[in-house]
Amino acid sequence: MNKPVETVFLAQSSQSLHSSQSSQAAGSEKWSEERILGIKRWAPQLFSLRTTRHPGFRFVPGQFARLGLPLRRDEPDGEVVWRAYSMASASYDEHLEFFSIVVPDGEFTTRLAERQIGDSLRIEKNSFGFLTTDRFAGGRDLWLLASGTGVAPFLSILHDPQVWQDYENLVLVYSVREARDLAYSKTIAGLPQHVLLAGSRARLHYVPLVTRESVAGTLSARITEVLADGRLEARVGVSLDAAHSRVMVCGNPQMAVDLRRQLTERGLQVGRRGKPGQLAFENYW
């Protein structure tokens, strides 16, 4: 199995945890108890977790899992808080990886942020969601538009070798407030050299946007603005239209509303039963 390109996780050996302590499926429960293998802190309010993976856990890149933590640490069998989390790891990785914000006073994220390597968390055995490329038909270019942690499902999709064969251009647009929030930049830069992706048909275009600072090499405006004024297409050198483009949007719900309006005006549509479209959205709150 291939490891993701970013290897700077503070990590415990997955071998030792896999053999002894991982994947405690609680009888016929719909969740399993998994262990934290590694933690990467990107910024004070952003971190990633690697966990063990139940052997029965399957997902399509772009889907999410439901993670659970006890409300009270001293009552591990008491009330549990559950939240949706996109898989950031490849579907073929032995581990799972999640990329998380810490919401001030957030019921789940303040608890998740306290977890250490070797601690456990619950993961439902089923995966969910429709932010997957199989909902599209045809298309030359895949546009992945993310705000904040909404980049997570796109990291998983961009590790899928099939996507690199199906499209000519893969465009990742990643909007954050400050430069320090731009996580996974080494992983993204390394994708074209990844052992499973090198030599594929697609070309990767990475467009980072930093909206509250001026940073060299990035655009200093929201996705909605650079789409509206043409800077996004000019930067990539590819036009965004219904004939050639398939567009996924993930993260901030107001951004999704605004982008939906802009893209619909360009003739792109969300698919309906039996009629594939060109748009797919996932709101994080």
Q: Which one, of 60, 56, 79, 59, lies nearest residue 68 by Cα?
A: 79
Q: Which one, of 177, 188, 138, 148, lies nearest residue 283 by Cα?
A: 148
Q: Which is nearer to ligand FAD, 258 or 282 (CB)?
A: 282
Q: Which is nearer to ligand NAP, 90 or 131 (CB)?
A: 131
Q: Which of residues 73-92 bind ligand FAD (CB under 6 A)?
A: 83-86
Q: Rounded to 5 degrees, what angle do the CA atoms 209, 185, 111 make?
A: 90
Q: Is residue 40 at the binding interface for ligand FAD, with CB under 6 A as the rule?
A: no
Q: Which is nearer to ligand NAP, 14 or 252 (CB)?
A: 252
**What's the closest the beta carbon of residue 51 comes to ligand FAD, in angstroms?**
13
What is the edge-to-edge ordering of all strands in the sheet holding 203-210?
203-210, 169-176, 141-147, 245-251, 279-283
Q: Is residue 179 at the binding interface for ligand FAD, with CB under 6 A as the rule?
A: no
Q: What are phi and psi of 144, to 5 degrees?
A: -115, 110
**What's the closest the beta carbon of residue 151 comes to ligand FAD, in angstroms?**
9
Q: Is residue 198 at the binding interface for ligand FAD, with CB under 6 A as the rule?
A: no
Q: Which of residues 124-153 bind ligand FAD (CB under 6 A)?
A: 129, 148-149, 152
Question: 3-state DSSP call for residue 164?
Answer: helix
Distances (CA, A) of 48 to 89, 103, 135, 159: 11, 14, 28, 17
**What's the closest the beta carbon of residue 84 comes to ligand NAP, in angstroms?**
16
Question: Count residues contacting ligand FAD (CB under 6 A)?
Answer: 21
Q: Is residue 175 at the binding interface for ligand FAD, with CB under 6 A as the rule?
A: no
